[in-house]
Amino acid sequence: MSLLIIGSIALDTIETPYGKEEYTLGGSATFISTAASYITNDVRLVGIVGYDFPDCEVKFLESRGIDISGLEKSKDKKTFHWHGVYSKDMNSRDTITTELNAFETFDPVIPEKFRDSKFVCLGNVHPAIQKKVILQLRNPDFVMIDTMNFWIDGEPAK
């Protein structure tokens, strides 16, 4: 089962009542591809990171068998960063900062070898990028589209 995943790859700062982690691996594409790697050995990742993205995190993705040949690395911008604070019940959170950085200019070109993917998961990216990705694919069987309040509030007409 070929699964193509496009979305954010981030270094997040997460605060909970139980602790705080700064610049930890995050992002929709990261979580989706890692979870999918437990059920299929054909996970194809497309995303962008910044010059500050740690090599150990790239090695982690590779260690899960994720094909990262669609991973782009910006030479002049930092990695997407989200900072959130979760409530005591962990069911709600407040966004402190959203710094798009390299993600702001993410314009994915799907590698030729990924265009025949049968299953596609479009994670948290700008709605126009989601549409552009779909137009590059050859007859997928199933496309799932995710979003979040940042795009819903900021780009409702897209």
Is residue 4 scored above 70 in pLDDT?
A: yes
Position 57 scores a pLDDT of: 98
- d(C-alpha 110, C-alpha 29), whole Å: 14
What gap in Å lies between CA 137 and CA 131, rounded to an integer? 10
Kindly report the pTM of this predicted structure.
0.88
Q: Say if residues 7 and 49 touch (Cβ distance below 8 Å).
A: no
Sketch out the chain's domains with CATH numbers: 3-154 (3.40.1190.20)
DSSP state of 80: B
The pLDDT of residue 138 is 95
Q: How many CB atoms lie within 10 A of CB 44?
A: 24
